[in-house]
Amino acid sequence: MKIAVTTDGNTLEDLVAEEFEKSAFLLIVETDNLSYKVYKTDTQTDGSGLAMAQKIVDEDCEALICGPIDEPAFEIIADACITRYLGANYPAATALERMARHQLALIPAYNGEERDSESHEHGVSFFHNPEECTCGAFSDNTGLDSIEHYTDIAIEHFMCPRNIGSMVNADGEATCGDPECGDSMTVFIKVEDNIIKEISYLVFGCPGAVATSSITSVLAKGKTLEEAQKITEEDVIEALGGLPENKRHCSLLGVEALRKTIDDYHRKVKK
């Protein structure tokens, strides 16, 4: 997993900058081995952070640890579906550890202001539009499907799912369904040198199904086939910071679909 961290210095021992736009360095960290690339950000002469935000997108980062973000840079980062964590004034290494333990707050808006999903440059803010939702997640009642029962991380993945979509010429493909609730998921992968280089999926179901499908794809991308096969329901639930008790079965959907997709890849290779 590739994480961007904005810092005052050029090492993981340095503090995460108090504000995104005022950071002196950008670290691009590979969480598998904590190796990282360093970019100096003193070229941000206008103080907008736009160049740094675009660099984070270009590096294909899945998350960002930083301080509060002003609107222009926030829009670029949020439109790329990069999860934003508030880690200001922690050493970068500590912030990464806290993120892994789900102990960092999300940054849902720019400097406390809600986003205007109709006015920003790149189109729709969220994949799951509350005004068009039919699954009950944004209803006024407090039923078990209400979005308020999910963690912030689960909501982020539900409203802006990662890696979603079909795939042309996939190396492996499989569909899995849950007859209990009608949820279904199709997973696609492309494999190079035994590593899942690309993964995408199509999912139909409740917020739990969408969120678990999204986080499963994040967990699997970049893993070897053997490592991906070992991803468990518990791994998925933990990565989301928990799920409502009646939605924990959703975690099995993504795991089973992923395993069937890997099995399909092996069958095709043997032919």
Q: Which two tokens stand for residue 74?
A: 């926030």
| 250 assigned to active site | yes
Q: Which residues of 112-142 are buried (b: 16+ CB within 10 A; e: fewer)?
A: eeebeeeebeeeebbebeeeeeebebbeeee
| 181 assigned to active site | yes
Separation of alpha carbons 187 and 253, rounded Å: 11
- Name the nearest CA neighbour of 252 among 166, 183, 171, 153: 183
Catalytic one among 81, 176, 206, 250?
250
CA atoms within 13 A on the CB side of 57: 15
The SS3 assignment for 208 reads: helix
Separation of alpha carbons 247 and 261, rounded Å: 23
Sign of the four-CA dihedral 156, 142, 185, 243:
positive
Q: Which two tokens stand for residue 9?
A: 């210095």
The SS3 assignment for 83 reads: strand
Task: List the catalytic residues.
Answer: 181, 250
